[in-house]
Amino acid sequence: MIVTRFAPSPTGFLHIGGLRTALFSYLWARKNGGKFLLRIEDTDQARNSEAAVKAILEAFEWVKMDYDGAIEYQSKRFDIYAEYVNKLLDSGKAYRCYMSKEELDALREEQIKLGKRPRYDGRYRSLPPKEGVKPVVRIKSPTSGKVTIEDGVKGAVSFEWSETVDDFIIARSDGTPTYNFVVAVDDALMGVTDVIRGDDHLSNTPKQIVVYNALGFAVPKFFHVPMILSGEGKKLSKRDGATDVMEYKKMGYLPEALLNFLVRLGWSHGDQEIFSRQELLRLFDPRSINKSASAYNASKLLWINSEYIKQKNDQELIALLKEDFSLDVGGFKNAALLFNLCKEKARTLMDFASEARRFLLRPESYDEKDAAAVSADAIALCERFLEFARDKGEFHQAIGEFLEANDLKMPQLAKPMRVALFGAAQGPALAESLAILGVKEAQERVAALKNRVCRG
């Protein structure tokens, strides 16, 4: 059985890089009828916060990736880690190191002087305890030979043991366990078979393998996923996506669209862009993740989002607009027509809401210049047109007939009309707008503008 996990450290919000590896892990487990676990890596009391845990869980809920079992918190597992530290001490695979800070600094300096990479030299493997120093616990790492990781994404990656690891600390002098130790212990105890994570963790993997081996645990499969870079190939900045996943909700992205966008960052299936979750569950395979970094493409995300918005039915849209943008379209009689128009234009729900809002609410203000260009005659023209169109039903035809009968060009009618309906001369097509608003509402909006024009 395949068991994967997502293991965020709650030092900040969930960003899209994390969400993408979570998605890969989720898909791989679900596809294989396995398990997907969620583990909060909150052992670093100084850097972790409750608020970050909450933010991560909130984002997880938004994207609807269900995990198996209860969430595991590393902060509640210190007893377990202590037990495994003791096991290693008892079996002689780890030892207490009494090296003082001064001694360590001196060793470091000497190594640097000799042009060597600073590393702990293992001296307390054999030295006796020292008075006055609270020891740390170090694990015995191999000192020669190499380790090869058969990475599911990168292929075989080899490290010389002596170049890569020293006898690193697994428990600090206050007894708290260190990061690489707890990750390996947890992955092993939780039965994780496939570790899918960012390739910024590749360099931690040899250390974790030392822990697996020392404890006699099977080493899982690793899939180290290349980073997401900006369109210019640089580290992602906040502006181009390195932001809280929940910001995407605020900006009007649908979670399904965001996930669809993310799965394509590093993975592909032919040139298909839009995947239902069912399709992803059938097709996704971490072994076909790209070896090179992928580039964040904001306009593609917008396009995918607009495709997903188009797939939403009216009831779903009503619920989303209400929840995310406090816009109540529920009682609007021509909601279906309104939604069709908005779907044509909107790439985000935020666009959608602002487009819908101008139909639901009368203009609160008018564009100064556009309103000043509307004469009393133009208002009268709008009034006459609406009278004419009242019984016609089909506005395209009514507009055509009216323009012809009065020897007018479209802008002469459409501009003042739009100022009345929406507050500005530019805006949605007139016939569609009138079909959505109805003649009566249009008349009231014209009357409101007339009031202003005549007063002004």
Query: Which residues are identified as catalytic?
Result: 238
Nearest distance from C-beta of residue 180 to ligand GLU, angstroms: 9
Binding string to ligand GLU for residues 125 to 164, with x set by CB under 6 A, is what?
----------------------------------------
Nearest distance from C-beta of residue 309 to ligand GLU, angstroms: 32
Q: Which of 7, 165, 346, 425 binds ligand GLU (CB under 6 A)?
A: 7
d(CA 203, CA 123): 24
Stretch binding ligand GLU (CB under 6 A), from 7-15, 162-170, 425-433, 442-450: 7-15
Q: Please identify, using beta-carbon distances, which residue of 183 and 341 lies nearer to ligand GLU.
A: 183
Task: Please state the length of the chain.
Answer: 456
Q: Please identify, using beta-carbon distances, which residue of 152 and 252 lies nearer to ligand GLU.
A: 152
In our burial notation (b when 16+ CB lie closer than 10 A, e otherwise), range 369-390 reads ebbeebeeebbebbeebbebbe
Stretch binding ligand GLU (CB under 6 A), from 1-9, 49-57, 269-277, 308-316: 1-9
41 scored as a contact of ligand GLU (CB under 6 A):
yes
**Dihedral angle of Cα 62, 64, 68, 70, to the nearest 10 degrees:** 20
d(CA 21, CA 284): 13
Nearest distance from C-beta of residue 183 to ligand GLU, angstroms: 5
Q: Please identify, using beta-carbon distances, which residue of 41 and 370 lies nearer to ligand GLU.
A: 41
Sign of the four-CA dihedral 69, 176, 58, 225: negative
Tokens read off for 176: 């708290």
Beta strands in 184-293 (DSSP E): 194-198, 221-225, 228-229
Q: Please identify, using beta-carbon distances, which residue of 7 and 449 lies nearer to ligand GLU.
A: 7
Nearest distance from C-beta of residue 204 to ligand GLU, angstroms: 7
Asked whether 326 and 305 are in contact (CB, 8 A), the reply is: no
Nearest distance from C-beta of residue 130 to ligand GLU, angstroms: 34
Nearest distance from C-beta of residue 414 to ligand GLU, angstroms: 55
Nearest distance from C-beta of residue 43 to ligand GLU, angstroms: 10
Please give the residues from 200 up to 229 whose contact with ligand GLU meets the rule CB under 6 A.
201
Q: Hey, is 390 helix, strand or coil?
A: coil
Residue with tokens 């006898």: 167
A 10 A CB-CB count for 102 gives 8
Q: What is the DSSP letter of 178?
A: P
Q: Which of 3, 4, 8, 23 binds ligand GLU (CB under 6 A)?
A: 8
Q: Which of 14, 147, 171, 183 binds ligand GLU (CB under 6 A)?
A: 183
Select the residue whose beta carbon is closest to ligand GLU and give its number.
197
Stretch binding ligand GLU (CB under 6 A), from 3-11, 124-132, 167-175, 447-455: 3-11
How many residues belong to the site for ligand GLU (CB under 6 A)? 7
Tokens read off for 137: 């616990």
d(CA 299, CA 241): 12
d(CA 317, CA 73): 36
Q: Which amino acid does the sequence have at 188?
A: A
Apex 216 CA angle, 215 and 217, nearest 5: 95
Please give the residues from 330 up to 369 whose contact with ligand GLU meets the rule CB under 6 A.
none
Q: Please identify, using beta-carbon distances, which residue of 45 and 278 lies nearer to ligand GLU.
A: 45
Q: Please identify, using beta-carbon distances, which residue of 20 and 197 lies nearer to ligand GLU.
A: 197
Q: Which of 9, 230, 340, 412 binds ligand GLU (CB under 6 A)?
A: 9
d(CA 416, CA 456): 16
Nearest distance from C-beta of residue 154 to ligand GLU, angstroms: 15
Residue among 305, 71, 309 nearest 190 (CA): 71
Binding string to ligand GLU for residues 185 to 204, with x set by CB under 6 A, is what?
------------x---x---
Q: Please identify, using beta-carbon distances, which residue of 7 and 436 lies nearer to ligand GLU.
A: 7
CA distances from 125 to 121, 144, 166, 169, 215 (A): 9, 16, 12, 13, 18
Contact set with ligand GLU (CB under 6 A): 7-9, 41, 183, 197, 201
